[in-house]
Amino acid sequence: MGDAQAAMAFYQLLASVSFTLLGLWFTALNLAHADWRHPGRHRERLHVALLFLLPGTLGLTSVLAGSNPIAWRVVFVLGGVIGLGESLVFLIRRRGLPGAGERVLAVLAPVLYALVVATAFVPTPVAGLVPLQIEGFVVAAVFLVGLTHVWRAFAERPAPAT
């Protein structure tokens, strides 16, 4: 399997898993976290949803772009800019996050989205990896940040019933 085929297989899988987890995330929020629409929680839960929506969208568009490098690069720049802007707003509004883990995740997201944008401008292979493969590592890291948020959400103790 060549570099391009391997990248396409990865992005097909990423898109499928991202959109599936996005649907499960919204379902779980409705079933297990009834307070997700509470103003203090709503922003955080939507931030997590974007950590699945953007990797899924980037994966899908890279598959649809096929061998057209301009198409996937434009979409990755747009997706990275959207993610960067949203994660910076989230970080600024959520100053004083309660745990060190949450603070690390909040700081990591904009850094990764900036890397998504920067990598879209890499013209040639680096260390034997074509630019779309490098993007795969970065987008996979964004996806893993989303998974970590989900794990933390389900690991936290529920609020006492009133």
Structural domain boundaries of the chain?
3-155
pLDDT digits (tens, 9 = 90+) for 83-116: 999 999 988 887 656 677 778 888 999 999 999 9
Entry pTM: 0.85
Average pLDDT over residues 146-154: 83
The helices-and-strands tally (H runs, E runs) of the chain is: 5, 0
For residue 84, the surrounding DSSP H or E stretch is helix 69-93
Give whole-number Cα distances, 9 to 6, 13, 15, 93, 146, in Å. Answer: 5, 6, 10, 37, 21
pLDDT of residue 39: 64
Average pLDDT over residues 39-59: 85
pLDDT of residue 43: 75
Q: How far apart are CA 58 and CA 11, in angstroms?
A: 8
Tell whether the model's pLDDT for residue 58 goes beyond 80: yes
- Residue 35: phi and psi, rounded to 5, are -85, 10
Mean pLDDT across the chain: 85
Average pLDDT over residues 75-89: 96
Q: The tokens of 44 are what?
A: 């955080």
Instruction: Please name every residue paired with 129 in a beta bridge, in sequence order, or none if there are none.
Output: 126
